[in-house]
A and B are shown apart, each in its own frame.
Chain A
Amino acid sequence: AQTVTQSQPEMSVQEAETVTLSCTYDTSESDYYLFWYKQPPSRQMILVIRQEAYKQQNATENRFSVNFQKAAKSFSLKISDSQLGDAAMYFCAYRSAANSGGSNYKLTFGKGTLLTVNP
């Protein structure tokens, strides 16, 4: 079974600075997806960024980028120019890319990292 580990329960960053959230995962599969979700106080689950394991290039979405290290099974999220609206719980998640049944559509989540942005 796959596992996702977020070792930082809480992080803080100054507004306009850069912060990196860590995520490691364990899998025996070679093809999979990785995601970062943001959950603000509204509780809404917002997809921030996704990475396909077969793509070597790191995904980027505006101020958000990832450092995907497949061999090390690491998938960190970098937030540049942090804004007050970035304050939220961030979840790292894994999904198998196998098409062998509905169980492979399951997202396996880490425990989350609570990010505080200080003005």
Chain B
Amino acid sequence: EAQVTQNPRYLITVTGKKLTVTCSQNMNHEYMSWYRQDPGLGLRQIYYSMNVEVTDKGDVPEGYKVSRKEKRNFPLILESPSPNQTSLYFCASRPGLGRSTNEKLFFGSGTQLSVL
């Protein structure tokens, strides 16, 4: 089954304790991206990657890092989490460049992060 898998689904941590949220897709997609969702703000892009070793900032990259060492994986790293990073996080992927006949972004099931 084609899917984007995120782990964990829920995470509670404390300020300053490094954490990684994993994301993996099995569709051989070039493009992967991270969003955060906050009440009253909708979803906002954190980082994206066009392919292996190619990453770039989205609209709200501060406090986050990403890496793309393999095509299928795109982990989100919080080196020193703070309470304002408490949010619902989504990983997403799609095929690469060009207009796709199936214009669709595949989303993971979300990770609810609480930073105390």
Contacts and interface: CB of A to CB of B under 8 A. Distances in A.
25 contacts: A9-B40, A43-B110, A44-B107, A45-B90, A45-B107, A47-B104, A47-B105, A50-B103, A52-B103, A91-B43, A93-B43, A95-B103, A99-B98, A99-B99, A101-B50, A102-B49, A102-B56, A105-B31, A106-B48, A107-B45, A107-B105, A109-B42, A109-B43, A110-B42, A111-B41
A103 interface: yes
Interface residues of B, number: 30
B42 A111 contact: yes
Interface string A1-28: 0001000010000000000000000000
A102 B50 contact: yes
Contacts, number: 59
A64 B88 CA distance: 27
Interface residues of A, number: 25
Interface of B: 31, 33, 35, 40-45, 48-50, 54, 56, 58-59, 88, 90, 92, 94, 97-99, 103-105, 107, 109-110, 112
A43 B36 CA distance: 12
Contact of A43 (B49, B50, B109): B109
Interface string A27-52: 00000010000000011110100101
Nearest to B98: A99
Contacts of A84: none
B102 to A, nearest CB: 10
B107 A103 contact: no
A97 B43 contact: no
A107 B103 CA distance: 12
Given A47-B104, A106-B58, A112 B42 contact: yes
Given A44-B109, A47-B104, A106-B33, 15 more contacts: A9-B40, A43-B112, A45-B92, A91-B42, A91-B43, A95-B103, A99-B98, A102-B50, A102-B56, A103-B56, A105-B31, A105-B48, A106-B58, A107-B43, A107-B105
